[in-house]
Structure 1
């Protein structure tokens, strides 16, 4: 017995479920992130725990690699499961990318501004302009959704034949 999504609703419900599974797997691998520095950092009389920020960042990196590899290898396939892998890995990366920014904000409390394709982070007077891959992957995902929604629907009842 195998499940194959036949409608767009079933497809995106399956994408959502697989994305949640990928998020949980990636977050589970977060503590395995290699740290070249101590997990606890003292600065200006405050103690910061870098383990959570580095772990979520590593989890987002894992999801990004799954997305890139699956998109390069499986893009254009007619198999719905291959497309589910691409779309769910994109959703998991986008979620983990912005969760990473939230953890950074909760850890250091910098000023953060989301700009087109960039995130500006200001902390203790130092400014950093970081390229935001989450926005790029979001645009790719929206393009894929648009292409699927543009596909003509079969006539009523013809999918059962």
Structure 2
């Protein structure tokens, strides 16, 4: 059995994006199991709202964030390409699901959403909600990892190793 070692940074990130898509497709259906304390469908102000998709995508993003946090704690600093792919792929998956969740919120309730550094402000019916944007924080961590890899490549082919 051959040992996988990406020969270039581009190949590494192609595989990372593929793994991120796989992680997203695994955690997205798990959103149906999200705990919901209120009715999934309710009427308000003459409209009928379905909370299922919003809560489901939010729960899926949470699962992806947990994969990122646990893999980062356990695998950070490893020279193994697989381990680094798991960290980076879970980060990409979480970033996508986080902002997809805000898109679904925007399409469901049509609030006004402002994105600031590290926070998101949501205005709806005169109420304001200020939330920490974990998507930006994970994006910064991901970009720092990308910068370090681009600055000093770690993944060498077997013929290049000393």
Distance (Å, rounded) in 1 between the aligned partners of 2:30 and 2:149: 32
Equivalent position SS for 1:5: coil
Q: Which residue of 1 aligns with 2:32?
A: 31
- Structure 1: state its 5+ residue gaps: none
- 2:106 aligns with 105
Higher relative contact order (CA 8 A, sep 6+): 2
User: In the alignment, what sits opposite 1:54?
Assistant: 55
SS at 2:5's partner residue? coil
Q: SS where residue 159 of structure 1 aligns?
A: coil
Unaligned stretches of 5+ in structure 2? none
What is the CA RMSD across the aligned residues, in angstroms?
1.8
Residues 47 and 78 from structure 1, CA distance in 2 versus in 1: closer, same or farther, beyond 3 angstroms?
A: same
Aligned-residue offset at 1:160: 8.3
What CA distance in whole angstroms lies between the structure 2 residues aligned with 1:29 and 1:5? Answer: 31
Partners of 2:9 and 2:153 within 8 A in 1 = no
Q: How many residues align?
A: 159
Q: Which 4+ stretches in 1 moved above 2 angstroms? A: 1-4, 158-161
TM-score, normalised relative to structure 2: 0.93
The Cα offsets for residues 3-48 of structure 1, whole Å up to 9 and x where unpaired, read as 3322111100000000000011110111111111110021111100
TM-score (norm 1): 0.94
Match of 1:130? 131
d(CA) in 2 for partners of 1:153, 1:66: 23
Cα offset, 1:85, TM superposition: 0.2
Q: Residue 142 of structure 1 aligns with which residue? A: 143
Given that 2:16 and 2:85 are in contact with CA atoms closer than 8 Å, whether structure 1 keeps it comes out as: yes
Distance in 1, Cα, partners of 2:149 & 2:132: 28
Deviations 1:89-130 (A, max 9, x none): 000000000000000000000000100000000000001111
Separation in 2, partners of 1:120, 1:20: 28
How many angstroms apart in 2 are the aligned matches of 1:30 and 1:6? 36
Supply the distance in 1 between the matched residues of 2:66 and 2:30 (Cα, whole angstroms): 13
